[in-house]
Amino acid sequence: MASEQEFIRLSEQRGSAEHGLLQLAADFHLDAFQPSLFSLCGIHCPATIAAATRKRQAEYFAGRWLADRALNAFGIDRFTLLADAKRCPQWPEGLLGSISHGDDKALCVTASRQHYRAVGVDIQRRISAAAAAKLQQRILSPSEIQLLAHSGLRHGDAVALCFSAKESIYKALYPIVQRYFGYRAAELIAIDPSRSQLHFAISPELADLPGCPSEVKLLYEQVGELLRSSLLLEH
C-alpha cells in the first residue's frame, strides 16, 4: 500500500493566507510513489497524467498535493485544480498561483487577487558550463549573455537562473496576456546579487496589452543543487 508520508513531506512555508501570500515547498521521493496516492489523497488525476510516465505522475501529484494544502489554508477544500490547453492551472475565483517541481522538490505559491495581480515560481537544477553554452543560444540575446558574463555568478548558475526567471515570467504573465510568448519576450536588463534580484524588460508586443507590466523584478536563490526564481507582482 502506498504511503503519503513515505513519498512526500512539507519542507518549507513562507507567508500566510491571512496576509494574502503563501509559499510552500515539499521534498518527495520518486521511489516511494504509487499512482494509488491520487485516490488515497483525493487528488484528481487527469487522463493525460494517468497515461504519463511514473516520474511525470509523481511530479504532478507533488505539485497538486502542495496546491491542495495551500488552498486549504485559504479556506477552500476539495477543489479540483484543472489546467487549460496551455497547462496553466485554473485557480479558484479570487486566487492565483503557480507550481513548479525539480527532481525531488515541488514548489507552490498561492496569492489573493486582492493583493497580487501576477505570481510565478520556477525551480531548475544547476547545470554545467557546457550545458549553459548550449542553453544560452536558445533563450538569451547577445546583450543578456554579456550581462551575465559580468554578473559575478558562476556561468552555469547564471544561465540556469535566467532560464528559470523566464519560466516564472511566463507562468505569471500568461494568465494576463492569454497568449503564448517565447524566451526573447523578456529581456534581462540588470542583476543585483546583493538583493538576489533579476530585472527584466517585457517586449512592447506584450507590455501594450491590458494589465501587462513593461518591467518586472524577480527574486532568486540557490537551494542545494536547485535554483529558484519567483515573480510576485503586487497591485
Domain regions of the chain by residue span: 4-114, 122-234
pLDDT in tens, 109-163: 999 999 999 999 999 999 999 999 999 999 999 999 999 999 999 999 999 999 9
Give pLDDT, residue 211.
96
Beta strands in the chain, from DSSP E residues, in sequence order: 8-16, 21-28, 95-101, 105-112, 116-125, 186-192, 197-202, 215-223, 226-234
Give pLDDT, residue 1.
60
Give pLDDT, residue 36.
96
Q: Residues 159, 135: contact at Cβ < 8 Å?
A: yes
Separation CA 222–CA 134 (nearest Å): 22
What kind of fold does domain 122-234 have according to CATH? Answer: Ribosomal Protein L22; Chain A (3.90.470)
pLDDT in tens, 63-93: 999 999 999 999 999 999 999 888 899 999 9
Burial of residue 130 (CB within 10 Å: 0-12, 13-18, 19+) is exposed
Q: Which residues contact 216 (CB under 8 A, 6 or more apart)?
A: 169, 172, 186, 199, 200, 202, 231, 233
Q: Out of 3.90.470, 3.40.50, 1.20.1740, 1.20.5, which CATH number does the structure's domain 4-114 have?
A: 3.90.470
Q: Say whether 122-234 and 4-114 share the same fold.
A: yes
Whole-prediction pTM: 0.96
